[in-house]
Structure 1
Amino acid sequence: MESKTLPSSAAEHAELPVYNKLHASTLAIHGGHQANEHGALVTPLHQSATFAFDNAEQGGARFAGDQPGYIYTRLGNPTTAELERKMALLEGAEDAAATASGMAAVSSALLTHLQAGDHIVASNAIYGCSFALITTQLNRLGIRSTLVDFNNMPAVTAAIEPTTKVIFCETPVNPHLDVFDIRAIVAIAKQYDLVSIVDNTFMTPLLQQPLALGVDMVIHSATKYLNGHGDVIAGIVCGNREHMTRLKYEILKDFGGVISPHDAWLILRGMKTLDVRLQRHCDNAEQLAQYLQANQAIAKVFYPALSSHQGHRFIGRQMKRAGGVLAFELIGDLQHAIDFVNRLTLLTIAVSLGDAETLIQHPASMTHSPYTPQARAEAGISDNLLRISVGLEDINDIIADIEQALV
């Protein structure tokens, strides 16, 4: 089905002069919004699976691609379309697609460009389920992969084969926050005619815009900061019109990993406070990182805002701030780390990130458990590494809880 079966595209809205003059924090509130029949300030929730046609001729015309309009929510929905327009505007993309989960976004983006016989080069440090998708599920489909350290650009280049089609990474990296040079990755991709895909979940478009640096596709787990309240599972993919048309009307249409209108509506609501939430997340994370770095019970802190971190040089030229996630290694063994986590009373033991609550998890046994011990070692994920998604609580309360748990 052609893209013209849906109403006006994100690209058309991006070209409006009013949007070109607005800052990102304002776009997060107003971007993509359209007037509705009753003048509702809040975007209406179109909780409908299907859409009625005025007559049989109209239905046939929409299916043929000769008339714009909605058909079936798997093919498009007005509420979902507003979220897609907003994200395209924020990322500087021609279009965007909302998906049922962050992993649906990852798999849809990859399957848009890969088929049996192809090869992908990916970072050896990525989210555990992305790792499992690339190394196991894609392999079952005849798509091979090579995972390397993206801090080593010669190694990335050396991994490229004649059948390589995609280069994939996330930056900052989950869980130890390494920061990769997006411009260098783009240069390699262009040299070898590869599609570059970057997971921008940790940063959001308010802190980093990979497309502006030359990346072809950007992925978000909208579950995290975009929604911000821990009550939605969703994903977003942003890119040019050609790539997004194939993703929407072949991959998403046929595999079916589309977002529900209600979840899209919740994300739209959450994004109105994205900027103010992000600033508090970053402020708290910076103060917590400084506290942990000065604490003698901590072996190492991983946070790009610290001058000791390898990603510090990218602050201000690739990413505006370091985000709200940090990691650290305790002095001691695995049991020491487990005992520390179990003594916490305010911090919540849970995976995910970007919620109002401060969350702590143990990557080796939780989010990155799909890795083999050898793969975890190669990715720098030790048994005593802990990851914190720093929430919106008073920073003094967060620090006090950690302090009492370190005894």
Structure 2
Amino acid sequence: MGDHCRRLETIMVQGCREREDTTGAISTPIYQSATFRHRGLNKSTGYDYSRSENPTREELEKTIAKLEGGKSGYAFSTGMAAIDAVARLFSPKDHIIVSEDLYGGTYRLFEQVYKKYGVETTYVDTTDIEKVEAVLRKNTKAIFIETPSNPMMRITDIEKITSIARPLEILTIVDNTFLSPYFQRPLLLGADIVIHSGTKFLGGHNDTLSGIIVANKFIEELRFTQVSTGAVLSPFDSWLILRGIKTLSIRVEKQQENAIKISNWLNECKAVKEVFYPGLKNHKGYDISIKQATGFGSMISFNVNEKESIERVLEKLEVIYFAESLGGVESLITYPYTQTHAAIPEDIRNRIGIKDTLLRLSVGIENVEDLIEDLDRALNY
């Protein structure tokens, strides 16, 4: 099929579908097979063993690569498995600059796993280009950023980072989980590798785990790691992520619509001290968001006035679920201080703003008035 009329929404719905299918199936078949029969000696169908290649996973990988505008896609069992595969590109004494405000699991991986293998990391506010330049070393091999960041919603200028990195042959790696390729395409802004927790917006229904990499560099190295370590996404879960991607555009548009209304409401709520949402015009990264993304997403963080109110708020919410994760159709609220970011030392959490009064809200597709009424009951007792 030609690409002459295939815009993002069309690719999301129809997928890549480069593999010939004689059945006419509209939904990509689930090839729930561990192994594949050979037609004879040295006569492979192109599929030998599902750890190496599987037609359902291949369809997902080619679809997400096309959506991100990258050369090759890789589907893993979890988002952390995807980040681990990227981390394996580095050797002892290699140095990586990392956004200081990032998911606690990523921090844990670098600090408690790869530090033992000699990989060096420096955490810095990547929204400040001068701070990034100040920590560059001769052995710096990559700059790893989240934008928007988790949970403080900091916005890093991707093009500025790549303008620093590229002349020095430093990789730019972007975790694009919060915006998805529908709202932001880092590879088209000069990044080399994009990572997603596919569990979140790509899947969109809080029903499966997955991790995604799309790369323009280290194509063979990443494929070798995927096959060798074996943390591949199963055929059924690949199909679930493909099914989720079909509705990605309409889901994230509705989630964003709700998030804008909720962030404005929270801004006026007397029980709330501060709201962090890139779609608010007073957000520090608003102008950069307008420049490099087509949307603001649906993740909101906010500080309540008193720590003592956290427990009450979480217990009184009825429509919004108190649960970890994000990006699904159901609205979820999380307490980063003791949940998603507990692995980060307290002094660092406090310095970057992950205080004991901070809540993170993943806005779903429910009726926005129900969500606001739920927040009102919990916050304004």
User: What TM-score, normalized to structure 1?
Assistant: 0.91
Moved more, 78-87 or 370-379: 370-379
* CA–CA separation in structure 1 for the residues paired with 2:9 and 2:78: 24
Task: Return closer, same or farther for 1:192/1:57 CA change in 2, 3 Å cut-off.
Answer: closer
Q: Aligned pair 1:95/2:72, yes or no?
A: yes
Name structure 1 gaps, 5 residues minimum. 1-15, 60-67
* CA–CA separation in structure 2 for the residues paired with 1:212 and 1:86: 16
Q: Which of 385, 388, 404 is the matching residue for 2:358?
A: 385
> 1:70 corresponds to which residue?
47
Deviations 1:253-273 (A, max 9, x none): 111111111100011111111
Q: Aligned pair 1:40/2:34, yes or no?
A: no
Q: Which of 321, 325, 338 is the matching residue for 2:295?
A: 321
Matched residue type, 1:101? T
> 1:21 corresponds to which residue?
5
Task: Return closer, same or farther for 1:362/1:40 CA change in 2, 3 Å cut-off.
Answer: same
Q: Which of 195, 220, 237 is the matching residue for 2:196?
A: 220
Distance apart, 1:157 and its partner CA? 1.2
Q: 1:238·1:244 contact (CA, 8 Å) conserved in 2?
A: no
* CA–CA separation in structure 2 for the residues paired with 1:169 and 1:73: 32
> 1:203 corresponds to which residue?
179
* CA–CA separation in structure 2 for the residues paired with 1:366 and 1:143: 26
Secondary structure of 2:28 counterpart: coil
Distance apart, 1:35 and its partner CA? 4.1
Q: 1:197·1:217 contact (CA, 8 Å) conserved in 2?
A: yes
> 2:15 corresponds to which residue?
31
Secondary structure of 1:321 counterpart: coil
Name structure 2 gaps, 5 residues minimum. none
> 1:343 corresponds to which residue?
316
Distance apart, 1:20 and its partner CA? 4.4
Q: Aligned pair 1:264/2:249, yes or no?
A: no
Q: 2:272·2:305 contact (CA, 8 Å) conserved in 1?
A: yes
Q: Aligned pair 1:244/2:244, yes or no?
A: no
* CA–CA separation in structure 2 for the residues paired with 1:323 and 1:123: 19
* CA–CA separation in structure 2 for the residues paired with 1:320 and 1:58: 47
* CA–CA separation in structure 1 for the residues paired with 2:358 and 2:235: 38
Secondary structure of 2:188 counterpart: helix
* CA–CA separation in structure 2 for the residues paired with 1:316 and 1:121: 25
Matched residue type, 2:47? Y
Q: Which of 243, 246, 270 is the matching residue for 1:296?
A: 270
Q: Aligned pair 1:81/2:65, yes or no?
A: no
* CA–CA separation in structure 2 for the residues paired with 1:39 and 1:312: 45
* CA–CA separation in structure 1 for the residues paired with 2:42 and 2:342: 54
Q: 2:155·2:289 contact (CA, 8 Å) conserved in 1?
A: no
Distance apart, 1:198 and its partner CA? 0.2
Q: 1:100·1:258 contact (CA, 8 Å) conserved in 2?
A: yes
> 1:11 corresponds to which residue?
none
Deviations 1:313-348 (A, max 9, x none): 123311111101101000112x22122111111110
> 2:161 corresponds to which residue?
185
Task: Return closer, same or farther for 1:289/1:199 CA change in 2, 3 Å cut-off.
Answer: same
Secondary structure of 2:290 counterpart: coil
Distance apart, 1:96 and its partner CA? 0.6
Secondary structure of 1:353 counterpart: coil
How many residue pairs get aligned? The number is 379
> 2:150 corresponds to which residue?
174
Distance apart, 1:110 and its partner CA? 2.1
Distance apart, 1:19 and its partner CA? 2.0
* CA–CA separation in structure 1 for the residues paired with 2:20 and 2:129: 48
Distance apart, 1:38 and its partner CA? 1.4
* CA–CA separation in structure 2 for the residues paired with 1:105 and 1:40: 30
Q: Aligned pair 1:55/2:53, yes or no?
A: no
Distance apart, 1:37 and its partner CA? 2.5
> 1:6 corresponds to which residue?
none
Q: 2:29·2:56 contact (CA, 8 Å) conserved in 1?
A: yes
- 1:352-371 matches, within 5 Å, as 352-371=325-344
Matched residue type, 1:248? R
Q: 1:123·1:169 contact (CA, 8 Å) conserved in 2?
A: yes
> 1:135 corresponds to which residue?
111
Matched residue type, 2:113? Q
* CA–CA separation in structure 2 for the residues paired with 1:139 and 1:339: 39
* CA–CA separation in structure 2 for the residues paired with 1:244 and 1:360: 37
